[in-house]
Amino acid sequence: MDAELLTTEQVAGRLGVKPATVYAYVSRGLLSSHRNADGKGSLFAKGDVDAFVAGRKRTTTPNIQTGITLIKDGGLFYRGRDATVLAGTSTYEAVTSLLWTGDLAHTGFPVNYHLNRLATAVTRPLPETARLTDRLRVTVAAVAAADPLRFDTAPAAVVATGRQLLATMVHALPPRTGVPVQVSSLAESFWYRLTATPPTESAVRSLDAALILLADHDLAASTLAARIAASTRAHPYAVVSAGLAALDGPLHGAASALAYPMLAEAVNGLDPVAGISDRLRSGIPVPGFGHPLYPGGDPRATVLFELLDDGPVRETTIRLADAMRTRSGVAPNIDLALAALALHHGMPADAGEAVFAVARTAGWLAHALEEYADRPSRFRPSGAYAGRPPA
């Protein structure tokens, strides 16, 4: 039995990564571990590691050349610009232009009141249990049906469609408090749909920063789905719908909703370390920690934490982060930062997912623009059949 178990160091050597990265895989639910006899280390079943290695070698896509986003040496860059710097100096509108056109220019998102009324009408009958992202999906489908020119994939048309679609996605969400006649940005409009807490300049700035930091992340699962849709020459609305479908998984865009209750419990009195202990004991990965692309720590989370005002949420998040970093060597990721942002400002648990969805719409359409300019229908992998042979 012992021969079939590997230590953390052995797994790290097999995968060609640092031990901290192995723990990150565990925290993300990608690898399962067991405590050794003295309770001070982790052991891994060789079969689980073999399956993980085989899964990493699997590929279903051609070599995708992209000039949009680079993740390198622990940094995130949009068309050669540091995304963490942009989060503190630019606006989501400008970063969207950068992703779509290469020009960092603030261009507002026009509100089409006819489309807004349509989207509001079709989402109003949804039950109260509907999540914000459920409403976004219905909105995208309704707006697509109302656009007779939706199959125009010329760059200028896609950019115009994207700006109008983003405005409608946000404005069609039900407000939680009175909305002023004039708002200065998409982030401010979004604020009134996420919380009844009055906005401050710094609070709206933090939401704008979150939108910027989540605007794209190379070929994440939802982005690959969006590119596949664009490769078939699906219209921009269908591209966004494909991205929203993949984003819905708990291991992708919905991950912040898993971190939210853990953080809320800790803020409301439960010892943060005890909360982590309960999850580890039950075999549930601790949400909001570790990222395979950032073994040294997610820079997006660092920026959002710095923008969070002092208070119980910030203090609790720091305690959680210190505990996980000390024992497991993993740092917080963007999911924990989104959960902290939402909880601090009185937003619901699914707010982080909605922020993720709206933000990433910019990235999906940027990748669609690249795909529209490439050879169509180039995604056609072949399955390795492992079923019953023909009679």
Token representation of residue 116: 């807004």
Say what the pLDDT of residue 37 is.
Answer: 66
Tally of domains within the chain: 3
In the chain, at which residue ranges do the beta strands (DSSP E only) sit?
5-7, 34-35, 42-45, 69-72, 75-78, 81-82
Residue 122 shares a structural domain with residue 232: yes
Helix (H, G, I), strand (E, B) or coil at 78: strand
CATH number, domain with residue 268: 1.10.230.10
Is 382 contained in some domain? no
Catalytic residues: 291, 335
Residue 109 shares a structural domain with residue 123: yes
Say what the pLDDT of residue 387 is.
Answer: 78
Residue 40 shares a structural domain with residue 155: no
Is 383 contained in some domain? no
Tens digits of pLDDT across the chain (391 residues) = 445 888 888 888 888 778 888 887 887 778 888 877 666 778 888 888 888 877 665 545 557 889 999 999 999 999 999 999 999 999 999 999 999 999 999 999 999 999 999 999 999 999 999 999 999 999 999 999 999 999 999 999 999 999 999 999 999 999 999 999 889 899 999 999 999 999 999 999 999 999 999 999 999 999 999 999 999 999 999 999 999 999 998 878 888 998 999 899 888 877 777 777 777 776 667 889 989 899 889 999 999 999 999 999 999 999 888 888 887 788 999 999 999 999 999 999 999 999 999 999 999 999 999 999 988 888 877 777 777 888 7
CATH number, domain with residue 166: 1.10.580.10
Q: pTM for the full model?
A: 0.83
Residue 210 shares a structural domain with residue 292: no
Q: Is the Cβ–Cβ distance between 265 and 274 less than 8 Å? A: no
> Alpha-carbon dihedral of residues 315, 320, 325, 329, nearest 10 degrees?
-160
Say what the pLDDT of residue 1 is.
Answer: 43
Q: Is the Cβ–Cβ distance between 150 and 141 less than 8 Å? A: no
Say what the pLDDT of residue 323 is.
Answer: 85
Q: Is the Cβ–Cβ distance between 236 and 225 less than 8 Å? A: no
Residue 47 shares a structural domain with residue 159: no
Residue 263 shares a structural domain with residue 218: no
- The neighbour count for residue 334, using CB atoms within 10 Å, is 26
Residue 333 shares a structural domain with residue 355: no
Is 170 contained in some domain? yes
Residue 268 shares a structural domain with residue 241: no
Is 282 contained in some domain? yes
Residue 53 shares a structural domain with residue 92: no
Is 377 contained in some domain? no
> Alpha-carbon dihedral of residues 130, 132, 133, 134, nearest 10 degrees?
30
DSSP per position, 297-313 = --HHHHHHHHHSPSSHH
Q: Give the range of the structural domain holding residue 165, as residue numbers without chain letter.
A: 69-253+350-372
Is 63 contained in some domain? no
Helix (H, G, I), strand (E, B) or coil at 20: helix
The H-or-E segment that residue 161 falls in is helix 155-171
